[in-house]
């Protein structure tokens, strides 16, 4: 009964490839997020969707394209992968409203060779 | 621009000690502050969330305080155990949906 799940857990790929990471939440939340944790363990927001609508888009290269087919899913597609994309990507969800706790998935460890 | 700093970056204590982790933020206009725990190779687990109108929150051996005007929060862990070893992250919510995270404190509790 995992609350926020991500697939795959690990992803090793070559530079220039295109890859996708999937996220699903079964908490009934209406807001989902993607965060990136770099090699120094610093976590930074990338995107946020509320009811399938993009509401936050930080300065992320347009090679990164999130897609939310429904409120329970937020996928991240990355084109033309670069070495600097290697990181851990975390999905999170919450109910809308600034008072709500965010719940995080287990992370996807991406290594670009 | 909101910046969140955590001190110390790393901490090692013997089992049974009480300890305090510090978090400071530059912009006091926040809605809430959240403390998370991250175990190696794992995701984040929410520990405590303090609303901007609150001064502290408690959960078991954990107590988090918030002084919004001075831009500070502390996480107090009582009677530390080896199972408390993890990285502790604080994050502030400035009003939009996103969280701004601190740099983390890596805690090791030794036997």
User: CA end-to-end span of chain B, whole Å?
Assistant: 41
Summarised one tens digit per residue, pLDDT across range B52-70 is 899 999 999 999 999 999 9
Cα dihedral A15, A75, B89, B110 sign: negative
Percent of chain B with pLDDT over 70: 97
Best of B10, B32, B44 to substitute, by most chain A Cβ atoms within 10 angstroms, is B44
**Does the pLDDT of residue B109 top 90, yes or no?**
yes
Name the residue facing A45 among B34, B36, B99 (closest C-beta). Answer: B99
CA distance A25 to A101: 14
Across A2-11, A97-106, B82-91, which has the greatest mean pLDDT?
Answer: B82-91
Other Cβ atoms closer than 10 A to B92:
29
Summarised one tens digit per residue, pLDDT across range A64-103 is 999 999 999 999 999 999 999 999 999 999 987 766 788 9
Percent of chain A with pLDDT over 70: 96
Q: Which residues of A touch B93 (CB under 8 A)?
A: 98
Average pLDDT (B35-47) is 89
Q: Which of helix, strand or coil describes residue B89?
A: strand
Radius of gyration of chain B (CA): 13
Summarised one tens digit per residue, pLDDT across range A44-59 is 999 888 888 887 777 7
User: Measured between CB atoms, does A33 come within 8 Å of chain B?
Assistant: yes
Average pLDDT (A35-49) is 88
**Does the pLDDT of residue A104 top 80, yes or no?**
yes
User: Measured between CB atoms, does A82 come within 8 Å of chain B?
Assistant: no
CA distance B60 to A59: 39
Q: Across the interface, do A106 and B43 touch by the CB < 8 Å criterion?
A: yes
How, if at all, do strands A103-104 and A108-112 pair? unpaired
Average pLDDT (B79-86) is 96
User: Nearest residue of A to residue B101 by CA position?
Assistant: A43
pLDDT for A1:
61
Q: Across the interface, do A99 and B45 touch by the CB < 8 Å criterion?
A: no
- Place B23 in a pLDDT band, splitting at 50, 70 and 90: very high
Name the residue facing B43 among A50, A96, A107 (closest C-beta). Answer: A107
- Place A37 in a pLDDT band, splitting at 50, 70 and 90: very high
Q: Across the interface, do A96 and B97 touch by the CB < 8 Å criterion?
A: yes
H helices of chain B, in order, are none
Q: Across the interface, do A107 and B42 touch by the CB < 8 Å criterion?
A: yes
pLDDT for A98:
62
Per-residue buried b or exposed e for A35-56, using 16+ beta carbons within 10 Å of the residue's own CB: bbbeeeeebbbbbbbbeeeeeb
Other Cβ atoms closer than 10 A to B13:
16
Q: Across the interface, do B98 and A56 touch by the CB < 8 Å criterion?
A: yes
The answer to whether the beta carbons of residues A88 and A109 sit under 8 Å apart is yes
Q: Across the interface, do B34 and A43 touch by the CB < 8 Å criterion?
A: no
């Amino acid at each position: 009964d995992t609350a926020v799940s991500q697939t795959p857990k690990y992803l090793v790929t070559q530079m220039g490839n295109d890859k996708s990471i999937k996220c699903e939440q079964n908490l009934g939340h209406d807001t989902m997020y993607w965060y990136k944790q770099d090699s120094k363990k610093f976590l930074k927001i990338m995107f946020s969707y509320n009811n399938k609508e993009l509401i936050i888009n930080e300065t992320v290269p347009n090679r990164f394209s999130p897609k939310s087919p429904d409120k329970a899913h937020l996928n991240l597609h990355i084109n033309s992968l670069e070495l600097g994309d290697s990181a851990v990507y975390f999905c999170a969800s919450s109910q809308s409203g600034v008072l709500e706790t965010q719940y995080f998935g287990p992370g996807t460890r991406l290594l670009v060779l | 621009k909101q910046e969140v700093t955590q001190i110390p970056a790393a901490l090692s204590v013997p089992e049974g000690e009480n300890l305090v982790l510090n978090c400071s933020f530059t912009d006091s206009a926040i809605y809430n502050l959240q403390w998370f725990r991250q175990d190696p190779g794992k995701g984040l687990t929410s520990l405590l969330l303090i609303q901007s109108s609150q001064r502290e929150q408690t959960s078991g051996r954990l107590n988090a305080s918030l002084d919004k005007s001075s831009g500070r929060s502390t996480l107090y862990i009582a009677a530390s155990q080896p199972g408390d070893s993890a990285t502790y992250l604080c994050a502030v919510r400035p009003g939009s949906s996103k969280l701004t995270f601190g740099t983390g404190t890596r805690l090791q509790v030794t036997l």
